[in-house]
Amino acid sequence: MSKGKLVIFGPWLGEFCYELSWYIPRIRKLMNTVYTGYTSVAVGFDGRKILYDDFTDAYIPYPVELDEMSKYPSCGGEFRGGSIEVIPHEFKQFVEYIKKEYSDDFDEIVIEYPQPELYSSNTSNLTNEELPFGEFKHYTASDNILQQVESEIKFDNSRDTIALMARIRTRNGKTCKLDWNPEHWKTFINLLVQQLQVNIVMIGIKQKDGSSAGASITFENTDYIKSIDFSGTNSVERQIALLKLTKCSIYGASGTAVFPFFTKTPTFTQQTKQEGFRLMYQWERDLTDNLKNVAIFDKYNNNEIYDAPPHELYDEFNKFYKTVV
């Protein structure tokens, strides 16, 4: 008697925006075309199960000790000893272990490894295609998570609430070319609170020790500012809930600025001249009703953005905020 077939997707080690924007849509389409009839398992970072739920049967996060070995995520893999993206041996071993654990339950087991070269702009056009291979969808959070987050972000006032991610990243001990001066973030947020009279929920993403992975800065809580740590098993679903519950969102220069597209949340983002166009491909237009309620401010070049004046960004956001419906 046939015991069926299993496909294992992973291990994913690249950056979050590449996972969200290209990797997951790609393997979703593979599941619905090449692997129809297969049971499916995805392997990756803790907290991201929600992104795979609609097309996989199980999600297996890395154990803590393995997760800590991931330090230098790139587009679709990890930098190890040079500029070539790879899937390190210890992560392949983990997937092989999973395969062995399932071996008695299935007649056939296929491992669909990510192909880092597909996601590198140096070797592939996948990430620069208007309609890349993949199936894109919007996300929402469970009622339970929505209720939890709604309670977390409750303010004792009637102001509108905005979600904000002040992105930061260190590479080889140097400030990333896309970062904005933390003091400018502070001035900008104060302008939002004092002049626009809104509440701000800062999305806290902790910097992993010794890692070049992206993170975000947060500030002390006040009557109008809440800094919330988004880590742990439900971290991404909680962010989805936040985006669904707030008036709009603001993202610093980063590929993660695409996240609100997947929740249809109005969003404003500061990007650079070299990166802003990456948020305007056809698949992104399809997710946002042709960029409705999306504003991309990309006046400055890479590295120059660090000193971009906060009052200017506030003025640009204020224009956008008045149009949000």
**For the chain, which residues make up each domain, given as ranges?**
5-128, 143-321
Select from 135, 105, 133, 96 the least CA-distant residue to 39.
105
Spatial contact of 196 and 318, defined as CB atoms under 8 Å apart? yes
pTM of the complete model: 0.95
The DSSP 8-state label assigned to residue 158 in this structure reads -
CATH class label, 143-321: alpha beta
Instruction: Kindly state the tokens that stand for 192.
Output: 């939002």
| pLDDT for 325 | 67
CA distance 58 to 43: 9
The torsion region of residue 97 among left (phi > 0), alpha (psi -120 to 50) and beta comes to alpha
Choose among 110, 113, 229: nearest CA to 165: 229
How remote is the C-alpha of 170 from its chain's centroid?
17
Q: What is the mean pLDDT of each run of 10 residues along the chain (325 residues)?
A: 91 95 98 98 98 98 94 84 82 98 97 90 78 97 98 98 90 78 96 98 85 83 97 96 98 95 98 93 98 97 94 98 90
Q: How high is the pLDDT of residue 299?
A: 97
Both tokens assigned to 279? 């948020």
Question: Tokens in use for 220?
Answer: 């002390």
Amino acid 308: pLDDT? 96
